[in-house]
Structure 1
């Protein structure tokens, strides 16, 4: 098996199970045209996030790492009409592209973008949130997780993307992203208020995976 096969399977799954969506397609096109890195979640992963939001009955969602707003749109659509999604983005250029995509999706009243370093904006947020999605710089994952836990309600869910790093997470001497993720896993494992698992994935985004953390108390 190789990347072409993984991508082909993802394409089949998306075609079979996910309706075409012009708004989401345009969001990706605008991101590409603006020169943003194409590191958004895949469509089937976006739908998974939306389903998780529905399963936890989310009314408030926190996202760390907006990029072009693609995953924010997926999750915000799963909120009730009076729900709220707060998304944090470091790069003003990314936030501006996301803002246009969110407005086109008709979700400007449901999604709030806060621009700046997440570790500077997180202390100004008020919880609790029902779902937190972490998809930003990986060396900061330990700090992001601790803030996510602080801002989550009992019964809430924290999802951390890109935790496998093409296998790099298994190497104690890996790069800064892998080391940050390993440190996050150590914190999660020692935290009595949560239960967690992690799953490897392959697909159009390569070999990676995500961590699911349930806040139990």
Structure 2
């Protein structure tokens, strides 16, 4: 009953505050037809990413985990005409769908999807002396979250936001004895955040059409 209620509220909020959007709907439909897992952020969560990017005046955004490009469309739309979004995706098949969806949304000039292991792509960005990012969205394999956070800190400017999705895992994150690799990775990431004086963070539990989960919001202080 609770999940039905959460989904109903999500639908109401989406209709009231987000509305219909042809490009975003098409991106979800294209992803589903391509057989991608239905794990993209919800419309209200996508709108939150968009508003956070606008709030920090993001000109450069880094995304770890493209899937079908749904969240990338939300983030890309917050960029100015000369902005840049770099999205990292392990699966070539998923990356192809994301590129097509970004093109259909008219974002091909500001958005780039790079294929390969994210840790390798992140290391390449550092080695290439990439211009610092204003916002980083991490939504990939959870066991690697500590590594992703460490690289994100090297690539983000002071004042940047780092957002990490799916950190509650239906409440499993509270179990200090869990052997689930995703839970272990998320808890290790939170320990890194707590020990890093350059970071300030909080986490928010969420319920909705995606079930019971949450995100961690981090600000790079220096």
What's the counterpart of residue 97 of structure 1?
97
Secondary structure of 1:20 counterpart: coil
What's the counterpart of residue 195 of structure 1?
200
Q: Which 4+ stretches in 1 moved above 4 angstroms?
A: none
What's the counterpart of residue 150 of structure 2?
146
Secondary structure of 2:106 counterpart: coil
Residue 134 of structure 1 pairs with residue 138 of structure 2: yes
Counting matched residue pairs gives: 217
Q: Distance in 1 between matches of 2:169 and 2:27?
A: 25
TM-score normalized by structure 2?
0.97
1:67 is displaced (CA, Å) by 0.2
Q: Distance in 1 between matches of 2:177 and 2:116?
A: 30
What's the counterpart of residue 87 of structure 2?
87
Q: Distance in 2 between matches of 1:172 and 1:141?
A: 17
What's the counterpart of residue 168 of structure 1?
172
What's the counterpart of residue 75 of structure 2?
75
In terms of mean alpha carbon deviation, does 166-175 or 57-66 score higher? 166-175
Deviation sequence 1:99-144 (CA, Å, 0-9, x none):
1101101100100110000011111111300000000000000000
5+ unaligned residues in a row in structure 2: which ranges? none
CA RMSD of aligned residues (A): 0.7
Q: Distance in 1 between matches of 2:66 and 2:75?
A: 12
TM-score normalized by structure 1?
0.99
1:2 is displaced (CA, Å) by 1.3
Secondary structure of 2:98 counterpart: helix
Secondary structure of 1:44 counterpart: helix
Residue 109 of structure 1 pairs with residue 109 of structure 2: yes
What's the counterpart of residue 118 of structure 2?
118
Q: Distance in 2 between matches of 1:4 and 1:83?
A: 39
What's the counterpart of residue 50 of structure 1?
50
In terms of mean alpha carbon deviation, does 171-180 or 28-37 score higher? 171-180
Q: Matches of residues 14-53 of structure 1 in structure 2 within 5 Å?
A: 14-53=14-53
Secondary structure of 1:136 counterpart: coil
5+ unaligned residues in a row in structure 1: which ranges? none
Secondary structure of 1:212 counterpart: strand
Q: Distance in 2 between matches of 1:68 and 1:127?
A: 25
Q: Distance in 1 between matches of 2:118 and 2:18?
A: 32
What's the counterpart of residue 158 of structure 1?
162
Q: Distance in 2 between matches of 1:13 and 1:146?
A: 35
